[in-house]
Copies of this chain bind each other. A is one copy, B any other.
């Protein structure tokens, strides 16, 4: 993003840019200056992945729009993404996902057969996650007024008593864990879009994570302080969000980051950083150091966490910061990505 673009688009002012759609700083500014200001309420202000609601028992609620291009990609499609994205946002609140509602905006001319394949894929993902799609809505717009298909999914789930997971709950001494390799989804979409086929076995990691979270909570519920899925903006955005919300410093070690060789190769070719690429089936957990190994073992015993690793730790800090300790031993600041490197990645 160029400096003048950034200047043109101060908070609440100027045209919306693609960069505002990112998981980075500009996206955050748009949300804060336009929506959080307008809808001003305590639940929304928490800016968690799902809203926690007290409707007799605690309920979590989340919504997510999906505009990925292309609609189909190795390892998934927009339908699978729409279900798992919402399931995962609920799971990251420590909620048990129960029900999904799906709104479709369809461009006139899309083949119904395509729509049916996507719906079947949604059903499959819902079955995998153990949720039902209980409500829906369909709007059709004229040719050219949308690009194929957009799916917005909303989900609700229940939160057990005692579960207190929040981006603001990371504490000095916590270990930082990831559930597996980073950047698979973003790299897959990008290669698909650029017509590159680096390696035939690279595919999106798009998958529901509620089963994995349940296994982790069973292993050590109260020692898990914070869970996030690093989607748009990747690991860099999520760690910066948590550092800011919790008021801590986070240091991660480059040598411990699980990144596939195909992802490294594609990123080198395309000039991208795997730490800002989207994941759709991975989570980051902040866990009390004393429980880190127990949680790690529980993760590795689950199909969605076989490659889980401890990648860093949390320290007290005057200023929230995320540091990357490189393989050469030097330390650099891992900044919040500003704009959108990859539009329509999810």
Cα distance A99–B152 in the bound complex, in angstroms: 17
A175 CB–B CB distance under 8 Å: no
For the complex, is A133 an interface residue (Cβ under 8 Å from B)? yes
A140 touches B39 (CB 8 A): no
Chain A facing B: main interface SS: mixed
A138 and B63 within 8 A (CB): no
A91 in the interface (beta carbon within 8 A): no
Given A112-B14, A123-B40, A152-B63, are A138 and B31 also a contact pair (CB < 8 Å)?
yes
Q: Are B102 and A63 in contact (CB under 8 A)?
A: yes
Interface residues of A in 79-136 (CB under 8 A from B): 98-99, 101-113, 115-116, 119-120, 122-123, 126, 132-136
Is A12 an interface residue when CB atoms closer than 8 A count as contact? Answer: yes
Which listed segment binds B: A50-58, A192-200, A281-289, A314-322?
Answer: A50-58
**B residues near A113, Cβ cutoff 8 Å:** 12-13
Please measure, in the bound complex, the distance between the C-alpha atom of A196 and the C-alpha atom of B33, giving whole angstroms.
36
Q: Is the CB of A64 within 8 A of B140?
A: no
| A85, closest chain B residue (CB) | B137
Report the minimum CB–CB distance from A234 to chain B (whole Å).
16
Measured between C-beta atoms, what is the minimum distance from A262 to chain B in Å? 27
Contact string, A264-307, partner B, CB cutoff 8 A, digits 1/0? 00000000000000000000000000000000000000000000
| A213 nearest CB across to chain B (Å) | 19
Sample of 8 more A-B contacts, CB < 8 Å, known A39-B133, A141-B147: A12-B113, A18-B108, A30-B115, A35-B119, A37-B119, A39-B126, A59-B156, A61-B134
> Sorted from nearest, which 8 A-B pairs have the closest CB atoms?
A21-B140, A154-B154, A38-B119, A152-B152, A63-B101, A51-B134, A103-B152, A145-B147
